[in-house]
Amino acid sequence: MNGSRSPAVAPIRRSPAHRLQAALGARFATEASWEIPVSFGKAEEERDAARLGVALVDITARAKVDVRGDLEKALLRLAGTPPTVRSVVTGGATGSERMHVARLGFRWALVLAEPSVGEGLLAAVDAAIARDEGMVTDVTGMLAGFALAGPKALELLSRLTPLDLVELAPGTCAATRVAEVAGVLVRPPTPGGVVELYVGSEYGRFAWETLRAAGEVLGAVPAGWETLRAEGWW
Amino acid sequence: VKGARLPKGPAEAIDRGRRITITIDGRRVEAFGGDTVGSAMNAAGMAITGRSFKYHRPRGLLCMSGACPNCLVTVDGIPNVRACLDPVRQGMEVRRQNAWPGANADVMGVLDSLSFLMPPGFYYKIFHRPRFLWPLVEPLIRRAAGLGRVPRQEDHRRLERVHLHPDVLVVGGGPAGLAAAIESAQAGARTLLVDSAPSPGGHLLWVVDPVEITIGGPRVPGYQAAAHLTQEALGAGVEIVSATTAFGVFEGGLIAAFEASRLYRIRPKHTIFATGGLEQGAVFPNNDLPGIMLAGAVDRLLHRYGVLPGRRAVVAAFGAEAYRSAIALARAGAQVVVLDPTEPSEQAETARAVTSAGGRVINGATVIRAEGARAIRRVAYREAGKGVGSLDCDLLVIGGVIAPATGLLAQAGAEFALSERAAAWLPTRFPQGVAAAGHVVGARTIPSIVAQGRVAGLGAARALGLIETSTEGIETLKQAGALGEDPVGVPSPVGEGKGKQFACLCMDVTVKELSTAVKEGFDSLELLKRYTTLSMGPCQGKACLTGSSRLCARLTGRSLGDTGFTTARPPWAPIPLEILAADRLVPRKETSIHDRHQDAGAEFMWAGEWRRPHHYRDPAKECRAVHEGVALIDVSTLGKLRVRGQDAVELLERLYPNRFADLKVGRVRYGVMLNDQGVILDDGTVARVAEDEFFVTMTTGGTEAMDRWIGWWLADWGLNVHVLNVTAAFAAVNLAGPMSRSVMERLADMDVSAEGLPYLAAARGKIAGVPSLILRLGFVGELGYEIHFPSEYGEFIWDRLLEAGSEFGIEPFGLEAQRILRLEKQHILVGQDTDALSDPLAAGLPWTVKFDKSDFLGRRALVEAQAQGPEERLVGLMIDGADVPPEGSAIVEGGRPTGRLTSSRWSGALGAAVGMGWVPAAHAQDGRVVAIVFDGHVVKATVATAPFYDPEGKRLRS
């Protein structure tokens, strides 16, 4: 019978910039079937960049759910505290403290979580939003994500986006243009200098290259998830 | 003797302890740190800084502020660098421009005596008859004229673009700008000050005498006052960006500025223009000789660089600034004679200061002519009641003629009126969020300049809601700012005697040429500008426009008010093109399988922003793999929409002429989308994946436009449906060929047989364990499966399919093969086979139009088109011979074009060239022979309205 065979190899998910990072010496680990860059082999340099300059981390593997529709009640159920437009709240129905709900517009929100939350996130969001209230879509692979960590994160972004970055305070988000393509900027409400940038995954390699080139004068370095987690941001 | 270094002065910008050696035209020149190339040249006694644009006349330092064309030099291969601004660097190589063999003795200087051959607009007038002459002469003219040579070598410098969003932007770092920034920042506004000078302070930097900043306040030397203001600004939190030139104001209040390697795009909430004034020269015979300088240039050389620019100086004084220079020159040891056109009482105090410093003042005297060959050596003047006199000199200083630098302010939309008192055009109304202060609005004394700056800063803070609306303080300051000003001197528009009188130094435009142009009918300033190129050179009118306006008024017999001034446009200052292109990004889209294509040796091509494999090997062989075995193409670039909601069917029924209400879950249907005129916008498939949900695909190039198109209509129709562009969420591959089912059977967890998944079926399942949506389609004419799956699995799925297909000889195929294959089936490409007039009836797609539907976009137009019948039809063409006519070739009949070939390729499967094209509707009959013309010869082609390959579709339905 057709389709009775199980796959011989476990499916692997990769970021669009995977090979570029591999060429830079990235060490990958598998998490929720994603190959995520955990380190680029220079832990001290990565840590210093994240504390004093700017570190670039590929966070495409973050679970991402797009929600469209009448969101007031839905976000109340989902997040406990419904975020106002252009704000970000933490926590919610999945029980994961790492879930962030970024409300990008009156009828548009993005829910973000650790890769391990995965399909659980989609189910949780789907459950919180009635079918006639809105549409829930897993956009994990649709958006490539990059964390800009460190005090020079905004200075780096100022080279790439026309957005007034003063408006991007912790706990806010914005849909804007970054590096000439549509992007979403999310600043989680946690202390620290992390800014998350999401662009269409088809622009993932371009965005990674552009971030690295623009960050060169600021001493930006590629970093892995170990740095983000060690610094307590994730 | 030029170039004597003076003893160290209090306002020096140079570091005498740091010696720097540069070369100028191969000659070693010693300089100090902080010198500019211009100051170093002058200190070394090099009066000639280069040769002029057209007549190759010797030119020397004039303004020392970057506002004239005289000192453009080539530095380390980069042309048109302003010597007066460019700091010296150890080992830099400087070359003076537009001269051969050298600037001191330029062979092309002969052109100066051939000026009769170059009347205004001469390139319209002469060398055109006989006709062969112009092509011969033009290169010579281009070679003889010009400003430096474009460097040949590539420049790999990293250039940046930075976006800034201050609350208040202050343009100009003089006393007005600093004062404005201080008030604004102290009120709590994020304040950015951009200043083209290396350090803020404006003209105060070279004022060594005590000045008062506020009326009745303490008097301190000007350079100290500049330092105090700068410190106060920094203390208030002002961000000062020096050596950065604002060069344009654009739509939405965007202000562009640049520094050496960075372009700033600044979007302030409020802008204060404190751009100061521009010193102007005077027009008289030989007014371009080296050794003629503006007062500000002399002050800079004396006080900032410790250089005495001349020992026998004549100062043409039209205002207080000229006397300041005269006094400084006399104190520095120069013999000084001041020619003051006013009566003795008007400058009595300063005149006494000149006299006490050893100089002499001649009142009622005006310069009428300069004399000299390669530098000035004598000045002729007319003295009221006494006639003409002359003075030997090596320096002529023009001082006190200052025009407000209104260029940026005008670009910002300010309105201007002629001020008789200021003898200048001054702003009278500002757009919202714009203010100005200082010299640019006519202030001349330091207290009034500073007071105006403070008013502007407070006004900005008030407009931003940062301070109370109490106006008492502001009114007091306004009164201070409106204090009486020094009288403004106006030189005579022309001089007397023999010699060229230059109205425009950049373009070598003389008074005589302007006069000729006016006589020829070019009698407005805008026309004069275009005809003579007046003010169109590197300085963009900064050094000449005031004088030119007066000249134009005089020549046309109009008043200065009626003459007006020319439209201000960016760039206000010259900007290297590389800066404009700084960090220009070219976004590119790549599928998640891109690296695999690269590994396989794909040749890529651009498809819009996408990078797609054109081919991996011979496209003909790739086609054969599809027809005979199995092959794989990455079609992730297809546009994909998720459409869900209770009105999803209604939305599709309105968007498409085709019917989707009766489409069953698990089925796919082709459709075209039309505009209101019934013209095909895009095409693709619609798969029903749930009762209220559809998966819609569109063309690679049309996705974004169609996404917007649907969004617009959705907003208008207010249907209860959600549409999300999920193009990037899903990668997609088309597995095609008679063996494709065998490959699918190895990977799919579902029934992929002809019965289980028939043609035009849609099913969800797992491929190699990855959740996927599989569509049974046949764009390339064979049994095929279009597999959509989360894009992050791109490489994984690609690898598994190649592995599973290896025993069947699977191989990837590219766009070129796809184009051949689709042409064999006469599947259209929207945008290639259709154009802005193509409707589905004429394009051979009438079966996609359901007229029995109540309405859809384009219905009305199609009803009309159907009634009239199409004039043209899109048909298939089987082409005779082995040649493939290029796409776009004309289809002719009786020597007249009747249609056009839109697609053409060689089909290996058919052993013939095939194509598609538009022909008259009457010719759209199977077997009709038409002629195609290309490269001068004609081939015959036979019309075919059914697919060339597998016309009954048995293979793709198998």
Cβ atoms B429, B326 nearer than 8 A: no
CB contacts of B589 in chain A (<8 Å) are 200, 202-203, 206
- Integer-rounded Cα Rg, in Å, for chain B is 38
Report angle CA B606, B611, B617 to the nearest 5 degrees. 90
Number of H helices, E strands in chain B: 25, 53
Residues of chain B with Cβ-Cβ distance to A67 below 8 Å are none
CB proximity list for A210: less than 8 A, separation 6 or greater: A160, A179, B585
B164 with A201: Cβ contact below 8 A: no
What's the pLDDT score for residue A121? 84
Look at residue A144 in the predicted model and tell me its pLDDT. 98
Q: Is A158 helix (H, G, I), strand (E, B) or coil?
A: coil
State residue B485's pLDDT score. 54
pLDDT at residue A116, rounded to an integer: 87
Residues of chain B found within 8 Å of residue A58, distances taken between Cβ atoms: none
How far B716 CA lies from chain A's nearest CA (Å)?
16
- Nearest residue, CB atoms, B728 vs list A12, A201, A216: A201
CA angle B873, B879, B885 (to 5 degrees): 90
d(CA B430, CA B416): 9
Vertex A130: Cα angle to A124 and A132 (nearest 5): 145
Cβ B796–A12 below 8 Å, yes or no?
yes
Facing A16 at nearest CB: one of B165, B590, B768: B590
Closest by CA to B315, choosing from B277, B360, B371, is: B360
Chain B's closest residue to A134, CA to CA, is B722
Strands B168-171 and B387-392: unpaired
Cβ-nearest to B750 among A2, A18, A138: A2
DSSP code for B486: P
Q: CA torsion A4→A10→A15→A20, rounded to 10°?
A: -120
* Option in A19, A140, A210 nearest B792 (CB): A140
Q: Compute φ and ψ for B666, nearest 5 degrees.
A: 90, 10
Distances (CA, A) of B393 to B6, B288, B315, B360, B389: 19, 15, 10, 14, 13
The DSSP bridge pattern shows strands B50-51 and B58-59 to be: antiparallel
Asked whether B931 and B943 are in contact (CB, 8 A), the reply is no
Residue A126 C-alpha, separation from nearest chain B C-alpha, in angstroms: 14
Is the sign of the CA dihedral B223, B227, B228, B229 positive or negative? positive
Q: What is the pTM of this model?
A: 0.85
Residues of A within 8 A of B264 (CB-CB) are none
Residue ranges of chain B with per-residue pLDDT less than 50: 1-2
Q: Give me the sign of the Cα torsion angle B465, B470, B471, B474.
A: negative
The phi and psi torsions of A14 (rounded to 5 degrees) equal -135, 150
- pLDDT per residue rounded down to tens, chain A (234 residues): 444 454 568 999 999 999 999 999 999 999 999 999 999 998 999 999 999 999 999 999 999 999 999 888 888 887 777 789 999 988 765 555 568 999 999 999 999 999 988 778 888 888 888 888 899 999 999 999 999 999 999 999 999 999 999 889 999 999 999 999 999 999 988 776 699 999 999 999 999 999 999 999 999 999 999 999 888 776
What are the chain B neighbours of A140 within 8 Å (beta carbons)? 790, 792
Instruction: State the smallest CA–CA distance between residue B273 and chain A in angstroms.
Output: 22
Of all residues in chain B, the one with the smallest CA distance to A182 is B587
| Cβ burial, residue B355 (10 Å; 0-12/13-18/19+) | middle
